[in-house]
Amino acid sequence: MIDKLTSALQFQQQALALRQQRQETLAGNIANADTPNFKARDFDFSQELKRATAQQQGSVKLATTHAGHLPLSTSTSTLDMQYRVPAQSRLDGNTVDMDMERAQFLDNSLRYQADIQFLDDRISGLRKAMQPEQ
């Protein structure tokens, strides 16, 4: 029962976790906008989400020989971080493009809120399904 609930929310949870990691990456880029030789980083969100969900399905299964055993939770593996290609080069070797980073940050935070909304809807749908008939 509980693992059904978990798997119903698994995808949203993973998407949210990845969004949060991306948020952190972008915040790091913005924080280092003036650090010499800093290279801006980012990752391909859809690819990482695909990988995370594939891992979830095809992961190693632990034998549960007791009702109290918990299923193995796959820890989020290291992300495939990539370097941004700068549109203009700077003399100090820094590749942070502030406009781009801020646009991406805004985009990511809106999508994060959208993910939360989907998760909320999912939860209220499940809750409704659990209500006794009236």
Partner 1 sequence: MAIFSILDISGSALTAQSQRMNVAASNMANANSIAGPDGQPYKAKQVIFEQQLQANGVGGVKVKEVVESEAPARREYQPGHPLADEQGYVTMPNVDPVAEMVNMISASRSYQANVEVMNTSKDLLMRTLTIGKG
Which residues are at the interface with partner 1 (CB under 8 A)? 16, 20-21, 23-25, 27-28, 30-36, 38, 41, 78-79, 81, 98, 102, 105-106, 109, 112-113, 116, 119-121, 123-124
Which residue type, as a one-letter code, is found at position 4?
K
Nearest-approach distance from CB 42 to partner 1, in angstroms: 10
- Residue number with CB closer to partner 1 (33 or 56): 33
- Residue number with CB closer to partner 1 (30 or 53): 30
55 half-sphere exposure, CB direction, 13 A CA radius = 15
- Residue number with CB closer to partner 1 (56 or 123): 123
Q: Which whole-number Å values give the CA distances from 88 to 41, 60, 65, 96, 97, in the listed order?
A: 16, 45, 59, 10, 8
